[in-house]
Amino acid sequence: MIELRGITKAWPGGAGVQALDLSVPEGECCALIGPSGCGKTTTLRLVNRLVEPDAGSIRITGQDALAQDPVQLRRGIGYVIQEGGLFPHRRVGANVAVVPALLGWDAARTRARVEEVLALVGLDPAQYRDRWPHQLSGGERQRVGVARALAADPPVLLLDEPFGAVDPLRRAQLQQEVLALLKRLRKTVLLVTHDVQEAVLLGDSLALMRAGRLVQHAAPAEMLARPADGFVADFLGADRALTRLGLFRISDVPREAASVPGEALPEATTLRDALSAMLERGVTALPVAEGGSLTLEAVLASR
Amino acid sequence: MRWTWRNLDSIGAALGEHVLLVGAALLLAAAVALPLGVLAARRPVLRAAAMGGSAVLYSVPTLALFALLVPLLGLGFRAALLALASYAMPVLLRAVVTGLEGVAPAVRDAADGMGLTPRQKLWQVELPLALPSMLAGLRVAVATLVSAATVAAYIGGGGLGVLILTGLDQGHTEKILVGATLVCALALAADTALRRMQRA
Amino acid sequence: MIGWLRDHPDVFLEALGQHLALSAAGLLAGVALALPAALLLARRPVLAGWVSGGAGVLRTLPSLAVLAALLPLLGVGFTPSVVALALLALPPVLLHALVGLQGAEPAAVEAARGMGFTPLQSLLRVELPLALPQVFAGLRTAAVQVVSGAALATFIGGGGLGDLVTQGMALLDTAQLLAGGSAIALLALGTEAGFGWLQRRWERA
């Protein structure tokens, strides 16, 4: 897990981070959100000590991060940035092998691991290992960036706007894949994003910052339902109620036993999509493929 | 062409001297420019001083530089070598600094974030990525040196310039043309070789 | 050095005058060749490629070799020196002008054609003005090279400040040597700075 206690970092002439307490339980993903300049990226970079705090303590998987050698510390933390930050003079395989090489793994073990993580992020090793970064699309570069961060199997990952440079059509798919991967590998993740939808999708919790301070830290459904103040509500957007419905599925709410006419929706459909279908069809109840029907009242009651 | 056939060995020696002068000056200049450039790329004050000083030094015409250095260094091969090295150093320094500065911030950030030490970052990431800029600088430096080394004959540096200058003195057309042709051929050959290296 | 200048103002001023005359004549001749050539080549990309290659080769050749190689053809003195200096000025101006002309904003060229400019009118009234910053940058490089190269004219009897250096060396007169060396260096740096200043002023205007 990641634990920040009383972390303070002052920048000359700008809002740094002030007395920040934040903890991310093991295996969970915390999404740091907030307007630009709020200190979210600084917070992320404090964790792997690319930024040194003025005060406070940082514990990672129980160990005092400030007591360790920063270079050794970073080798044990996966780091993914926008565009991947791939080394343009090294092939994909060599990029993924950077941290194993730093850790002194032998060639056979490194090679096997490179193939393994490339496959994990959905890239055929045989096809991609020997390509140059400039031969990849934005999405492929990002996948390699994730593979590189996973190479030495670190328990903690830091993701800084990891999908910012991926075109919107591919972004949704990549987000879903990465989400599934991180859950499967049970990584503890700190994610910085400016995109509320992305934060809600990937985060087990949202941490909203403003001017270097943590304003609210809560599960997405909780924050969307009960924003701490007007600033949080504004930041989450006027459509926050709709965003929140996207977190629930038909299977999460009570249904009527009786069926209604019309094309049935599977119960894995989100309430957001179900509400949209009701609006589109001009009805207050929808048949569910697995049996019964979903009413508008049930959707409204989920608030 | 009678003179040429009779003096093939001394012409060859002049060519050898010229190459030696250029090569030694290049090594000397690189030995200063590389560490200085690495330091300057990280320190804004040193960078400003180094880049400003280089621009001035490089703009000083060859003959003027030699004239100003003769009272300090005297005449001969060693003096010519030092003068030539001080002429090539600014070019290489500039290339090292601009090359290092051209490395994308995201790449540096990734290198730090993955736990490369500053030294590993320099050797494994920054210098390889600065290589194209350094090769371009090397090409300019070599062209500058082959040219300046011709004038270095005037302060006793030897080389092909000796054929040109003594030829001019003696009104010996063949000698002048042999010297001029060889030095032009040398300049073009070096430039072509380095251009190939740049493409590779 | 200051003493030498005080004792020989006439020698110094004559050398300086010759140096400036050589440089100005060489630069003007070079520009007079390079600019029309660039205009003629602007619409002939294949030929322009060949000529650029040639200019690149010319730029690589050592100045002293160019100067010396002209001697058997043109003899010694002022004129061959000017010819050699023109050859030094030619490549930078030509190459920069070609880059500028070929890089002219395609939308502006298209607009000019659309408004009914003939190709010649478009070249002279649209592309050339757009290429002027590049041309000026080439001019600056050429001027510095010509002022530097003019110092070598002394070796083929062209005169100039190089004479002070060669005489200083011959007579082992350090003061004269330093006076010549400093004057050439300052003139080159002044040319670089002066053209740079003009360039910035003019770009702002």
Q: How far is CA B31 from CA B28, B55, B89, in A?
A: 5, 19, 9
Q: Which chain C residues contact residue B62 at CB under 8 A?
A: 63, 148, 151-152
H helix or E strand, kind and range, residue A298: helix A296-301
- Give the whole-number percent of chain A exceeding pLDDT 90: 52
Containing structural domain, residue C195: 2-204
A73-85 pLDDT tens trace: 999 999 998 877 8
Beta-ladder partners of A2: A24, A60
C56-72 pLDDT tens trace: 888 888 888 888 888 88
The 3-state DSSP class for residue A22 equals strand
Phi and psi for C42 in degrees, rounded to 5?
-55, -35
Q: Which of B62, B70, B179 sits opposite C177 (nearest CB)?
A: B70
Residue B53: its pLDDT value, please? 87
Report yes or no: B64 and C151 within 8 Å, Cβ to Cβ: yes
CA–CA separation, A143 and B113 (whole Å): 17
Q: Thinking of the domain A2-238, which architecture would CATH place it in?
A: 3-Layer(aba) Sandwich (3.40)
Report yes or no: C155 and C67 within 8 Å, Cβ to Cβ: yes
Rounded to two decimals, the ipTM of the complex is 0.83
Ordered by start, the domain boundaries in chain A are 2-238, 248-301
For residue C197, the domain's CATH number is 1.10.3720.10
Could you tell me which chains touch chain A, where touching means 3 or more CB pairs under 8 A?
B
> Distance of alpha carbon B151 from its chain centroid, rounded?
14
B138-153 pLDDT tens trace: 999 999 899 999 988 8
Average pLDDT over residues A146-165: 91
CB contact under 8 A, A87 and B111: yes
A53-102 pLDDT tens trace: 999 999 998 899 999 999 999 999 999 988 778 999 999 999 999 999 99
Q: Which chain B residues contact residue C147 at CB under 8 A?
A: 61
Residue B103: its pLDDT value, please? 92
Closest Cα partner for C188 from C151, C144, C141?
Answer: C144
Distance from CA of C153 to the nearest CA of B (A): 11
Whether chain A has a CB inside 8 Å of the CB on B114: the answer is yes
Number of alpha carbons in the 13 Å side-chain half-sphere of residue B113: 28
- Give the whole-number percent of chain C exceeding pLDDT 90: 27
Q: Thinking of the domain A248-301, which architecture would CATH place it in?
A: Alpha-Beta Complex (3.90)
CB contact under 8 A, B63 and C162: yes
The structure's pTM equals 0.81
Q: Which of A79, A89, A102 sits opposite B129 (nearest CB)?
A: A89
Q: Angle at which helices C63-74 and B160-170 pack, to 10 degrees?
A: 30
pLDDT at A22 over 90: yes
Q: Thinking of the domain B17-158, which architecture would CATH place it in?
A: Orthogonal Bundle (1.10)
CA–CA separation, B115 and C86 (whole Å): 56
Residues of chain B with pLDDT under 50: none
Whether chain B has a CB inside 8 Å of the CB on A192: the answer is no
CB contact under 8 A, A81 and B116: no
CA–CA separation, C11 and A47 (whole Å): 73
Q: Name residue A197's amino acid.
A: Q
Q: How many domains does chain C have?
A: 1
Look at A16-25, B136-145, B189-198, C41-50 and tell me which has the smallest mean pLDDT: C41-50
Q: Which of B62, B164, B191 sits opposite C65 (nearest CB)?
A: B164
Where residue C205 falls among pLDDT bands split at 50, 70, 90? Answer: low
Quickly list DSSP for A95-157. Answer: HHTHHHHHTT--HHHHHHHHHHHHHHTT--HHHHTT--GGGS-HHHHHHHHHHHHHTT--SEE
pLDDT at A216 over 90: yes
Residue A2: its pLDDT value, please? 93
A252-273 pLDDT tens trace: 888 888 888 888 889 888 888 8
C87-141 pLDDT tens trace: 999 999 999 998 888 877 777 777 887 787 888 888 888 888 888 888 899 999 9
Q: Which of A81, A82, A91, A156 is most worth mutating to test chain B (most B CB atoms within 10 A of its CB)?
A: A81
CB contact under 8 A, A98 and B106: no
Average pLDDT over residues A203-222: 92
CA–CA separation, A293 and B180 (whole Å): 96
CB contact under 8 A, A99 and B115: yes
